């Protein structure tokens, strides 16, 4: 009769279920931090392969290209920082045993959604109600 616990609506994920999400999020944090480090290194040293071209038009185009690339890398790094922060916040919710509870409806977010977007705080029901 192990079905008794699942007959009533679950209000939070069990400690065993949270372990699965903790492992998933931890691996995503490690990968995201590694990617962020790569982006930060690329921002610090753009154009390492630049040559000492004496033709000023080439130099100007190269500088402009480096500047554009650096700006793009900065935007990617900022998005990656936010992603890492969201994942870290999700880990905090796991520690507090509030992980997977929709902040709008108070219901559990489906495991499928959490596996796809482990840092989400909204169920699909709440997400679809958001203004676009």
Q: Provide the residue ranges of all domains of the chain, joining segments of one domain with +.
A: 11-100
Report d(CA 16, CA 19) in Å as an integer: 5
The pLDDT of 51-60, averaged and rounded, is 56
The DSSP letter of residue 109 is P
Alpha-carbon dihedral sign for residues 14, 120, 114, 80: negative
| Residue 57: per-residue pLDDT | 59
| Residue 70: per-residue pLDDT | 84
Q: Where do the H-state alpha helices sit in 45-123?
A: 56-95, 111-116
Whole-model pTM: value is 0.75
Contact 46, 69 (CB under 8 A): yes
| Residue 56: per-residue pLDDT | 63
| Residue 69: per-residue pLDDT | 83
Report d(CA 123, CA 52) in Å as an integer: 55
- Mean per-residue pLDDT of the chain: 85
What digits encode the pLDDT tens for the residues 91-126?
999 999 999 999 999 999 999 999 999 999 999 998
């Amino acid at each position: 009769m192990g079905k008794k616990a699942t007959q009533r609506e679950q209000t939070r994920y069990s400690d065993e279920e949270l372990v699965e999400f903790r492992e998933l999020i931890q691996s995503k944090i490690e990968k995201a931090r590694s990617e962020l480090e790569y982006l930060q290194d690329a921002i610090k040293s753009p154009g390492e392969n630049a040559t000492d071209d004496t033709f000023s038009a080439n130099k100007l185009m190269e500088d402009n290209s480096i500047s554009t690339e650096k700006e793009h890398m900065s935007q990617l790094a900022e998005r990656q920082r936010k992603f890492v922060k969201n994942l870290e916040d999700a880990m905090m919710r796991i520690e507090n045993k509030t992980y997977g509870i929709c902040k709008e409806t108070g219901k559990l977010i489906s495991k499928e959604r959490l596996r796809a977007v482990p840092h989400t705080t909204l169920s699909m029901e709440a997400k679809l109600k958001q203004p676009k």
